[in-house]
Amino acid sequence: MTAVSWWDRLPRPLDPLRSFKVKTGLLVGSAITLAAFTFWIGASWQFRWALLAALTTSVLFVGFLAHGMTSPLRQMTSAARSMARGDYSIRVRATSRDEVGQLADAFNQMAADLGAADEYRRGLIGNVSHELRTPITALRAVLENMVDGVAEPDPQALRTALKQTERLGELVTDLLDLSRVEGGAIALRLGRFGVRDFLEDALEHPAVHITVEPADLTAVADQARLRQVVVNLVDNAVRHSPPGGRVTVRARAGSGLLLDVGDDGPGIPARERQRVFERFTRGATSDGGTGLGLAIARWAVELHGGTIEVLDTSDGCQISVWIPELEESV
């Protein structure tokens, strides 16, 4: 924050007025009135001194009134220069109720939004760099060992290299999905489908138990986007489940489609239940993953106008998804 000059700390008597034109008219009228009044008082003086006194008092009074009208504009100019240098912390004193005051309010909101966007950009770059560094470092180590003859290119070493390559591919795919969702480039293709057939086709994992009530339940949604939701939720549940644990997926009707995905893992602490849907957020019990799956699931659900939340359960973790009743695309 830059220091505020004494001139900008002066009171602004015209701030309550809601029109800049009214302020300008009042300013001109005040100047003429004050000049005439001063000249009338100094009528007994010599003419040149009376005129000088009238002009001086008018200029001082007009300057006092006008500073509050132009001060926000000067502050916005200074703040814009600071923003061009990357400093988004400057705010304009917005006490006026006229068009300039509304402009100052809008400027402050824009500065806050730009600051948040810049902070998000910096955090995203840092997170992506960190996420890419880990599999690249591991893959490089495996390949260097093979090239230097330290390790043989046996199936185990190749599987390790393949695993890191798959992780890189997963991260890139998640980032592309995330950018398309955030950029609004994904249009929903809504259609009606059988929920059981959809889940059985999307979830081919022996540890997943699917329940659909009623058995012939149908829903309207974008199947590609909804597949991202259930696959990411189930992958997250499988990753956190203990060996031999079971993941349950329950679908039922409820003013739309209700999907519950539960596991036998350690669960998510109450303080982290909102943060798990943020980008690159992983809990203390996380094992692998890119930290983007739940963020993508949330955006895909919100594209449908639905909600996603972590339920309060005593054992394991249960995430509930609600997709409202939608009309099929023509």
Q: How far apart are CA 108 and CA 114, in angstroms?
A: 10
Q: Are 69 and 99 in contact, with CB atoms under 8 Å apart?
A: no
Q: Which residues contact 184 (CB under 8 A, 6 or more apart)?
A: none
Q: Of 72, 88, 112, which residue is a domain's last?
A: 112
CATH code of 136's domain: 1.10.287.130
Look at residue 7 and tell me if it is in a domain: no
Maximum average pLDDT range among 262-276, 287-301, 309-323: 309-323
> Do 316 and 227 share a structural domain?
yes
Residue range of the domain that includes 246: 191-324
Q: Who has greater pLDDT, 20 or 57? A: 57
> Do 263 and 233 share a structural domain?
yes
Asked whether residue 257 carries a pLDDT value surpassing 90, the answer given is: yes
Q: Of 182, 202, 231, which residue is a domain's last?
A: 182
Q: Which two tokens stand for residue 97?
A: 């109720």
> Do 175 and 196 share a structural domain?
no
Per-residue pLDDT, 3: 47
Per-residue pLDDT, 127: 62
> Do 248 and 213 share a structural domain?
yes
Q: Which residues contact 234 (CB under 8 A, 6 or more apart)?
A: 203, 205, 208, 247, 249, 261
Q: Count CB atoms within 10 A of the CB of residue 257.
A: 23
Per-residue pLDDT, 199: 92
Look at residue 12 and tell me if it is in a domain: no
> Do 316 and 209 share a structural domain?
yes
> Do 128 and 105 share a structural domain?
no
Q: Of all residues in the chain, what percent carry a pLDDT higher than 90?
A: 12
Look at residue 13 and tell me if it is in a domain: no
Per-residue pLDDT, 211: 92
Per-residue pLDDT, 178: 67
Residue tagged 């993953």 (tokens): 289
> Do 247 and 155 share a structural domain?
no
Q: What is the count of structural domains for the chain?
A: 3
> Do 320 and 196 share a structural domain?
yes
Q: Of 84, 112, 140, which residue is a domain's last?
A: 112
Asked whether residue 264 carries a pLDDT value surpassing 80, the answer given is: yes
CATH code of 248's domain: 3.30.565.10
> Do 134 and 63 share a structural domain?
no
1 pLDDT band (50/70/90 cuts)?
Answer: very low
Asked whether residue 6 carries a pLDDT value surpassing 80, the answer given is: no
pLDDT in tens, 295-318: 778 888 888 899 999 888 878 888
